[in-house]
Chain A
Amino acid sequence: MATAVARIADVTEPAQASLWSDAWRRLRRNRLALAAAIFLVFLVGIAILAIFYTPYRMSATGIAPTYAPPSLAHWLGADNLGRDQLSRLMIGAQISLVVGVGTQLLVVAVGVPLGLLAGYYRGWLDSVVTFVINVFYGVPDLLVALILVFLLGPSLANIIIAIVVTRWMDMARMVRGQTLALREREFIEAGRASGAKPVKMLFGHILPNALGPIIVQATFGVPAAILFEAFLSFLGAGVQQPTPSWGSMAKDGVDAIRFAPHMVIFPSIALSLTLMAFNFLGDGLRDALDPRQKR
């Protein structure tokens, strides 16, 4: 009898699937997100490769005729100073990824604790944080970032700082909302009743339950930051020459659009494909990690 019961239990209870294995299963079924992930792995590969090897030195001028169209020696042609476009595009991938991922790491470091504290303690702390968030939403982010870069000086680190200053609010607001909802749940009450310390409550119980939306938000934040950097570079406030950025390459291309369209086409395609891949991956991750939010 006892063995029969055990056997029935074996049959009816499926193997426990954790959130992550479940999400991975769902993500794998989303072909678009998978293709995007593969493209991004390829892109990261190129960026890493560019540390050790580029076909030509990215700052070497005059190695091809200026404005040379694509050829066998220079697959993507040359730019206005006769520099190899492919090499510059590869370094540009590095810059974009560093800016995109770097900003999101900082945004998480700033936004998550602020959102957790504001949502958990509420009261005056919440009022202050919410007010600051609203003030930052009220000013045009790109223009503030532009002024910040001009004040601090255009370097990669300063660009990342400027983007973080104008873009941390989405994360803080989302985490605050999640915390507000989670703190009313029974398991938090149980934790509090059993005397868990606030730090333990916030980082041991609330944060893990908000991790899915945080990952999704950060994934969507990466293309936004890359776009931001491209915009700044396009206006000449990005990383400075000779270091290439896809934005400044596109800007150089626009200036020569009548006779050297390849200069604007390739950086634009690289930029668009990368942004698209992150957005598709974000869509896939949202469906996989956060099924309630499904469109």
Chain B
Amino acid sequence: MFTRGTLIYIGQRVVLIAFTVLAVSSIVFLGIHRLPGDALFNEHLHGEQYALLLHHYNLDQPLLTQYRDFVVAVVTRGDLGESLVNRGVKITPLVLRELGISVEVGAFALLFTIGIGLLFGVVASVRQNTWIDYVLSTTSVIGYSMPNFVIASFLILVFGVWLDNVTNGGFYYQLGGWKGDLGQLWLPAFALGFPYASIVARLTRASMLEVVRQDYIRTARAKGLRETVIVARHALRNALIPVITILGPLAIGIITGSVVIENLFGIPGLGKEFAQSILNRDYFIVIGVFTMYAAMVGLANLLVDMLYVVIDPRIRY
């Protein structure tokens, strides 16, 4: 499956991702110095103290020197510097910890999206042109047209306000909370994933309808296989190939969507940090979060491309 050529290709892609990540963080680093406002401004420091603080953050150097030091620290030590607002907090461990939380929520959303999308798509195609098909197809267009924060607001309204007595406030994220908690994973995953689940369902339905008309499916029927086996083992596998094309945008959508969703549900992940650090003008953290995002998007794209090879043996790199 993974020939030598494939491995070389993966190696090239990883190098490319590393360069992209460096380029993105450089652009953000240089761009951010043009932003108005200043995280240290609120401290009302003057004279020597202020100079000491600037020196602490290397901010008294010329911009190009700062940039050189930044790149050297990132490349050699993976050190993204220190928070401007919370003195002494190192950014690299901070964003890595938050990345873990975001990945947990995001991965769950991804599984949810694909699961629901495939289920709806297959059911709609098996029951083509019945009321089930119409209901599911209409639902998917509606779902596709709902912004994730609208879905999230309605979920909060229903589960957090109207059903407050039932859910007992147990729907906001709690560190180390029980994984079955609504707010822990289910509601954020639903809000993040539902628009994309609709797209997956539409694609699955369309490609299933193409596949079930082919001869090998008729052969399988003629052999007397049960319909569930035909759908699950024979049809779905080939119907999946077009669905994989959506996975790249899907992963990116979930990553960016988490910026809003994490803020709404109070999940202390990368997305919340991103919005928070921009508001606080904690620019070093903004750079760090951006670096993480660039790496994640690159890796997600690479994984999807590798998935093609696994599902469809005809594809080689």
Contacts and interface: CB of A to CB of B under 8 A. Distances in A.
A223 B145 contact: yes
B136 interface: no
Contacts of B275: 235
B149 A138 contact: no
Given A231-B260, A268-B153, A279-B141, A140 B147 contact: no
Chain B interface main SS type:
helix
B259 A147 contact: no
Interface in A141-155: 141-143, 146-147, 150-151
Interface stretch (A2-10, A54-62, A75-83, A252-260): A252-260
Contacts of A295: 202, 206
Contacts of A275: 145-147
Chain A interface main SS type:
helix
Contact of B149 (A141, A236, A250): A250
Interface string B235-259: 0000000000000000010011001
B256 A258 contact: no
Contacts of A265: 157
Contacts of B141: 276, 279-280, 283
Contacts of B31: 147, 151
Contacts of B147: 227, 230-231, 271-272, 275
Q: What band does the interface of chain A fall in when counting residues whose beta carbon is under 8 Å from B? A: 35 or more
B34 interface: yes
Contact of B153 (A146, A147, A227, A250): A250
A138 B21 CA distance: 11
Contact of A140 (B149, B161, B252, B279): B252
Contact of A257 (B34, B157, B256): B157
Interface in A123-163: 135, 138-143, 146-147, 150-151
A45 interface: no
B135 interface: no
Nearest to A258: B161
Interface of B: 20, 24, 28, 31, 34-35, 141-142, 144-147, 149-150, 153-154, 156-157, 160-161, 202, 206, 252, 255-256, 259-260, 264, 274-275, 278-279, 290, 293-294, 297-298, 301
- Listed from nearest, the 3 A-B pairs whose CB atoms lie closest are A276-B145, A275-B145, A142-B256
